[in-house]
Amino acid sequence: MSRATRLINRLDKALSRHSSFGNHPEAFVDELFNEIEDSLESLQKKSKAEHWAEIYVERDRAQIKQEVLNRVMAKGSA
C-alpha cells in the first residue's frame, strides 16, 4: 500500500467517525487535517510523482462525487 493510499485511507476513516457535520462541514477541516498530518509528513519524505497523482485522482473523485450528490439533492427537494 502506498503512502498516498495510507493517507487517503486514514482520512476516510477519520471522516467515517462522524455521522453528521451539521451546517458547517468546513469547520471540521482543521481537525481532520491535523489527524493526517503525520501521514502527510511521511508522504513528503518519500515523495514520488505517482503518490501525488493518486492524491489528485482522489481529489477529483471527491469533486465529482460532490457534484453528483448535489444534483441528487436538488432532484430530491423538487
Model confidence pLDDT, tens digit, residues 36-70: 999 999 999 988 999 999 999 999 999 999 999 99
Domain count, the chain: 1
If we measure between CA atoms, which residue out of 50, 38, 44, 46 comes closest to residue 14? 38
Q: Which residue shows C-alpha cell 518519500?
A: 46
Q: Pick from 67, 14, 60: which is nearest to 52 by CA?
A: 60
Place of cell 468546513: 26
Cell of 14: 477519520
Would you state the pLDDT for residue 77? 86
Percentage of the residues of the chain whose pLDDT score is greater than 70: 100
- For residue 1, what pLDDT band results from cuts at 50, 70 and 90? confident
Domain containing residue 41: 3-76
Distance CA 32, CA 40 (A): 12
Quickly tell me which residue has 503512502 as its cell: 3
